Structures are given as C-alpha cells and as structure tokens.
Amino acid sequence: MVTKTIAIVAHDHRKRDVLAWATEHVSVLRAHRLIATGTTGRVLSEELSLEIERLKSGPLGGDQQIGARIADGLVDLLIFFWDPLAAQPHDPDVKALLRLAVVWNIPIACNRASADFIIRSPLLAEAYAPEQPDIENYVNRSIAL
C-alpha cells in the first residue's frame, strides 16, 4: 500500500456532503496523509477523529496554500466539494486552485460521484506518477518584448 497525500476542501454549503462522503470512506482516508483547509479540516477531524493537517480557511489563503503544495509536487489528489450555486468571495483563489490541479495533472473530485470513483480506484493504493507538464518549454519560451 502506498500512502498518498489527499487535499480536502469544501465550501460552506458542501461541508455536510464532504463529511457524509468521508464518513463512508473513513477507513481508506485513515491510510493516507490528509491536508485540508481550516474549517473543513476541523469538521472532519472532530467528527471522524481523522489526523488532518489544517491549513488556513479557504478565503484566508488556504486554497492558495494547497495550490502551492500541488505546484511543489506534494499533493496526489484533490477532493474539492465546491458550491456551484453560491458566489464565493474568493472565487479567483478557487479558480487558481483548480487551474493548478489541472496544470500539474492531479486528479480532482468535485462532487461525491467523482470522489467515489477516485477513492475506489486501485491506483489509490499503488505507486503512480502522473505525467508532468513540459515546464522547460514553457520557461524557455521566447517572449516578444
């Protein structure tokens, strides 16, 4: 069994959903390293006695902290139950987090169905190195000034 680092984020109206999902998969989650934004981490830790590294609340920089870890290759999977029906004051941070997960080819689950598929994947227990973007070409590209 390979331990993965799983980042968990849930907007306020989705915290109940992520808690229900985590409750169903608590035994699998316990086998991995978990990080979460502030309130989501507190809810999961208190309700399920999970060991979670809690970062700042999303609007206070937690989404960006997770994004930085993704860019540094320190996150294997992002579970992000976002609320598509509510405006978020930190919407640019949300979009940046999702963009980084896509750039760095990190699996993203944005709802319970996709989270179920990912958490039940045999790849969760195996060594897996996602294909990385071609950074050299991007960094060394020619820019017209």
Pick the more confident residue, 143 or 132.
Answer: 132
7, 37, 79, 82 alpha-carbon torsion, rounded to 10° = -160
Lateral strand order in the sheet of 33-36: 52-54, 33-36, 5-10, 77-81, 108-109
- Inter-helix orientation angle 112-119/15-24, to 10°: 30
Tokens of 116: 């179920």
Q: What is the pLDDT of residue 120?
A: 97
Q: How many percent of the chain have pLDDT more than 90?
A: 77
**Of 40, 48, 44, 21, residue with least CA distance to 119:** 21
- Domains, the chain, ordered by start: 5-139 (3.40.50.1380)
CA dihedral sign, ordered 121, 124, 126, 130 = positive
Please write the tens of the pLDDT for every residue from 34-56. Answer: 999 999 999 999 999 999 999 99
Q: What is the pLDDT of residue 108?
A: 98
Active-site residue, from 12, 17, 63, 93: 63
Alpha carbon distance 32, 28 (integer Å): 7
| DSSP annotation of 6 | E
Residue 116 annotated to the active site:
no
Please write the tens of the pLDDT for every residue from 61-96. Answer: 999 999 999 999 999 999 999 988 777 777 888 899
**Of 42, 41, 44, residue with least CA distance to 23:** 44
Q: What is the pLDDT of residue 21?
A: 98
Q: What is the pLDDT of residue 98?
A: 95
Residue 107 clears pLDDT 90, i.e. is over it:
yes
DSSP E strands: which ranges in 45-97? 52-54, 77-81
Alpha carbon distance 19, 23 (integer Å): 6
Q: What is the pLDDT of residue 30?
A: 97
Q: What is the pLDDT of residue 2?
A: 93
Q: What is the reported pTM?
A: 0.92
> What mean pLDDT value characterizes the chain?
93
Q: Is 43 helix (H, G, I), strand (E, B) or coil?
A: helix
